[in-house]
């Protein structure tokens, strides 16, 4: 088969292709043969493009403007033979690069591992049975089934197809889906015109097909151009770009201040070398070395936390955008509801029947006026139930005493309802075998199957009542005879069912002559059988999640293809559209037809005011997203179908369903829910807000540290006194505190009231005016404390080494206590809980141990020019540090209680 890689498969007949590949279209490959081919030819995956090697990635850690200053400072101090300073400066640069390298590697691996969780599944024929497997296990010769919403898993030659259309834009650039046929083509046919082929990575937008795999992995057309389409994990986000821009501004400011320091010192007649060292001290003090690593680590931790809460982030900027979300547009079925449909009422032959029992377990009775009808089913009821299990592609399965559905929940409810009357799919299929089928498509809003019966071939159809009634000309009575169709009466009965929150499916049948089903057969001449009304109850956790969103200033809107009355009732139960303080209020609802009649201006106004959109076509979702965005809303949109992809791409956050979603929707989404649960969206929004809060906390903590160090050096030069801290000591402070103190904020669990505030505007600056004021205030406190204590000790005859050691320890202890201030930007650490982030305590303890080593070990004394200090000095340091903590705590209390909470 290796020699067949370049074969003109499109020029071969279908049976010839099967023969050449040693496969049988009716049975597929055996499991043994498939395993043998997989071992021989490898998995069906494109070899990833060669990434940057570890050495290149490590060297790139030095490619940062702020690091350039440190490298230059280290080089010049080396020329001045200040070897200790040079060694420490370069040591800090290397350690910082190592931290960045390790954390970036971990972040990229985490994102890549999350991508692996989103593998494509394929329907493959093995040993005569259709099974679903991971597409990487497919081999050449496998027979696969394609249907609307699938991503083509490998290069395939079509064996048979029905109305198949494939979006090949990713491969050929053709913007319109290509209509496919199985007929043989000329050998010179170019790739874009090969109508009997489908290629790996392209998307099935319509229809279904059976095909044989002719190439996998690197041998596919996609594999040959993999260098153009393969991408590595991208850790760049709008926030990291803002911080990069901020770093450049800071770089200029640091260079200006350092130059000013040097110039002022020379003007005052100081030694040029001393003034250069002072300028170096100011530069290294003002550089927030830990900032890039903190951003990367915080985002990586956040992505992993979201994955644990059932939300997989496909595109890293989504982490930030989630925190700004103002509107969530959600599907109803399975996301806001349980996705365990249960038929509650049946209307057929002019009579209503009640169905007892819940869930998929076939336990319960069908009753009329309290009497069980089992064993004496009226003809109309029997045909309505039979249509429900024949026009059906799902299976009811029992496992460990639990019943579940393999397939669509709505179809599962129909199977369960029929089983309660003693009808099973197995019996129905034996008596009335299927000949053909027309699968459900959202544009058609119905599904049809053709069956062989003693009376002749019968078409059974199920779908939305409006579409079914359009195709019906008469109706079945209780005894099995037919009467003229009363459309108005049936629509009234449907509304009665929907008013109880039931989803209504209509069923019909028709006798036809042929054994192949065409779309035209389904559009007229049918006999109406009955209605089955089922409910998919709201998820308990979704009700709570909608309430959380309301408290967070996020509007939840339901978008569904269901009947307007059904959708409105479910939305009412969920609390969607409730005004503050109100209850049991029905939300404002618009239907797809009403949307069609609105102008763009009217739609923009209505989209904001309306909470439920029913009977909405997939393409209308895009208009709704654009309308909401026209009012500057940040929109999160859920979707699971092929036609949801444009809306998902347009939304600020596109959210695909991991269980029921098509590959097309997942490709277009920023985030995928592994449990299809609305509560997971709320959890992801909460995590997004927490991540941004933690980044702001780190920045609010680190900038006063750098600002305080820079101000102390500047004040010393301006007043003509000795430097209170040396460059090597500043580097020690920055290196150790960033790792052991600042980064611990990345592990903050999030404040309990994070979902009780309005969303942050995405264009808002990272730091508010209040936080900038606090940063300047804390910098000033550090300057006042360190400089005054240093001057006092110098005046009282302290040796310069001891005075500087006190200054270093005072800096670090103020940073340590201020860290506890920054665990919440508005509350006391006792309010949020002292032990809610144990990593802060671990980091603080480690920092204290390091400072004791810095102060009392001879080795550290030699390197950092430190000296042992007395218990009295420690007492003074601790009192001042606690005093700074208390002052900041008092400032927060005033803003919270006196000036009203501002955040």
**Catalytically active residues, by annotation:** 331
* Whole-number Å distance between alpha carbons of 26 and 17: 14
Whether the CA torsion 736, 737, 741, 743 is positive or negative: it is negative
SS3 state at 104: helix
139, 202, 375 from 367: Cα distances, Å: 52, 50, 12
Task: Name the nearest CA neighbour of 237 among 327, 313, 309.
Answer: 313
The token pair at 56 is 């290149």
Please count the other Cβ atoms lying within 10 Å of the Cβ belonging to residue 451.
23
Residues 6+ apart with CB under 8 A from 492: none
Residues in Cβ contact with 111 at an 8 Å cutoff, skipping those fewer than 6 apart: 233, 235, 300, 303, 313, 316
Alpha-carbon distance 440 to 378, whole Å?
A: 29
* Beta carbons of 734 and 95 less than 8 angstroms apart: no
**HSE of 659, CA atoms in CB hemisphere, 13 A:** 13
Name the nearest CA neighbour of 459 among 441, 436, 476. 436
DSSP single-letter state for residue 702: H
Strand partners, 483: 475
Beta bridge partner(s), residue 441: 446
Using alpha carbons, select from 728, 881, 861, 738 the residue that is nearest to residue 809. Answer: 881
Read off the DSSP letter of residue 561. Answer: S
* Tokens 């505190």 -> residue: 737
60: three-class secondary structure by DSSP: helix
Q: How far apart are CA 502 and CA 413, in angstroms?
A: 12
Residue pair 44/216 in contact by the 8 Å Cβ criterion: yes
The dihedral formed by the CA atoms of 852, 711, 798 and 859, expressed in degrees to the nearest 10? 30
DSSP string, 1-14: -GGGTT--GGGS-H
The alpha-carbon radius of gyration of the chain (Å, integer) is 35
Extract the tokens encoding 10: 């499109």
Which DSSP letter does residue 514 get? S
Nearest to 215 by CA among 308, 109, 139: 139
713 touches 347 (CB < 8 A): no
């Amino acid at each position: 088969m290796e020699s067949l890689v370049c074969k003109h498969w499109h020029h071969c007949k279908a049976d010839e292709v099967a023969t050449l590949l040693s496969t049988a279209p009716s049975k597929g490959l055996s499991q043994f043969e498939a395993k043998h081919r997989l071992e021989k030819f490898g998995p069906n995956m494109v070899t990833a493009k060669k990434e940057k090697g570890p050495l290149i990635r490590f060297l790139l850690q030095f490619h940062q403007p702020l690091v350039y200053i440190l490298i230059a400072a280290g080089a010049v101090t080396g020329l001045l033979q200040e070897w200790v300073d040079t060694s420490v400066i370069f040591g800090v640069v290397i350690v910082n690069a190592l931290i960045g390298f390790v954390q970036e590697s971990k972040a990229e691996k985490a994102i890549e591992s999350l991508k692996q969780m989103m593998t494509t599944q394929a329907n493959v024929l093995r040993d005569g049975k259709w099974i679903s497997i991971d597409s990487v296990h497919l081999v050449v010769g496998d027979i696969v089934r394609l249907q609307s919403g699938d991503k083509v898993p490998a290069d395939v030659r079509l064996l048979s197809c029905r109305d198949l259309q494939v979006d090949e834009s990713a491969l050929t650039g053709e913007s319109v889906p290509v209509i496919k046929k199985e007929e043989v083509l000329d050998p010179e046919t170019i790739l874009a015109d090969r109508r009997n082929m489908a290629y790996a990575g392209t998307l099935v937008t319509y229809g279904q097909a059976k095909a044989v795999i002719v190439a996998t992995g690197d041998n596919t057309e996609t594999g040959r151009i993999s260098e153009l389409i393969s991408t590595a994990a991208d850790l760049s986000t709008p926030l990291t770009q803002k911080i990069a821009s901020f770093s450049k501004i800071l770089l200029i400011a640091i260079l200006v201040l350092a130059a000013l320091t040097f110039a002022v010192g020379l003007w005052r007649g100081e030694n040029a070398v001393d003034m250069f060292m002072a300028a170096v001290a100011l530069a290294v003090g003002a550089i927030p070395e830990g900032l890039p690593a903190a951003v990367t680590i915080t985002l990586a931790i956040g992505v992993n936390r979201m994955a644990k809460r059932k939300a997989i982030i496909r595109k890293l900027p989504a982490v930030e955008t989630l925190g700004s979300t103002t509107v969530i547009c959600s599907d109803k079925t399975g996301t806001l509801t349980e996705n365990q449909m249960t038929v509650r009422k049946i209307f057929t032959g002019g009579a209503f029947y009640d169905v007892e029992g819940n869930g998929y377990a076939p336990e319960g009775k069908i009753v009329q006026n309290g009497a069980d009808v089992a064993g004496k089913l009226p003809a109309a009821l029997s045909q309505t139930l039979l249509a429900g299990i024949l026009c059906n592609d799902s299976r009811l399965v029992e496992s460990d005493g639990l019943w579940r559905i393999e397939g669509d929940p709505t179809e599962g409810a129909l199977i369960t309802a029929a089983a309660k009357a003693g009808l099973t799919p197995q019996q129905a299929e034996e008596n009335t075998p299927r000949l053909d089928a027309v699968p459900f498509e959202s544009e058609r809003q119905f599904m049809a199957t053709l069956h062989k019966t003693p009376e002749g071939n019968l078409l059974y159809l199920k779908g939305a009542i409006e579409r079914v009634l359009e195709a019906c000309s008469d109706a079945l009575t209780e005894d099995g005879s037919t009467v003229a169709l009363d459309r108005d009466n049936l629509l009234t009965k449907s509304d009665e069912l929907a008013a109880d929150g039931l989803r209504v499916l209509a069923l019909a049948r028709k006798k036809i002559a042929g054994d192949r089903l065409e779309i035209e057969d389904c559009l007229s001449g049918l006999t109406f059988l009955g209605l089955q009304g089922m409910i998919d109850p709201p998820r308990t956790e979704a009700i709570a999640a909608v309430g959380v969103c309301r408290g967070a200033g996020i509007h939840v809107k339901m978008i569904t293809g269901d009947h307007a009355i059904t959708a409105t009732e479910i939305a009412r139960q969920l609390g969607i559209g409730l005004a503050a303080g109100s209850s049991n209020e029905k939300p404002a609802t618009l239907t797809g037809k009403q949307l069609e009649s609105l102008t763009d201006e009217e739609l923009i106004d209505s989209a904001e005011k309306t909470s439920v959109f029913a009977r909405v076509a997939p393409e209308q979702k895009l208009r709704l997203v654009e309308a909401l965005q026209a009012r500057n809303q940040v929109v999160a949109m859920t979707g699971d179908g092929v036609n949801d992809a444009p809306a998902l791409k347009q939304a600020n956050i596109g959210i695909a369903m991991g269980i029921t979603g098509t590959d097309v929707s997942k490709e277009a989404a920023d985030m995928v829910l592994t449990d299809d649960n609305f509560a997971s969206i709320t959890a992801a929004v909460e995590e997004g807000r927490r991540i941004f809060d933690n980044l702001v906390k780190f920045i609010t903590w680190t900038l006063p540290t750098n600002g305080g160090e820079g101000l102390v050096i500047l004040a010393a030069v301006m007043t003509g006194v000795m430097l209170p801290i040396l460059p090597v000591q500043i580097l020690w402070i920055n290196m150790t505190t960033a790792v052991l103190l600042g980064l611990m904020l990345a592990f903050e669990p999030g404040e309990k009231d994070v979902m009780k505030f309005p969303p942050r505007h995405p264009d808002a600056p990272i730091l508010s005016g209040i936080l900038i004021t606090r940063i300047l205030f804390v910098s000033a406190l550090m300057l006042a404390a360190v400089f005054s204590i240093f001057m006092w000790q110098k005046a009282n005859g302290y040796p310069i080494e001891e005075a500087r050691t006190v200054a270093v320890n005072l800096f670090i202890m103020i940073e340590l206590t201020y860290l506890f201030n920054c665990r919440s930007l508005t509350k006391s650490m006792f309010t949020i809980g002292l032990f809610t982030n144990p990593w802060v305590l671990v980091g603080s303890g480690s920092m204290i141990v390091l400072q004791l080593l810095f102060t009392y070990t001879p080795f550290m004394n030699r390197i950092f020019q430190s000296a042992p200090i007395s218990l009295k000095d420690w007492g003074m340091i601790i009192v001042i540090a606690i005093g700074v903590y208390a002052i900041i705590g008092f400032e927060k209390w005033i803003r919270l209680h006196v000036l009203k909470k501002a955040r």
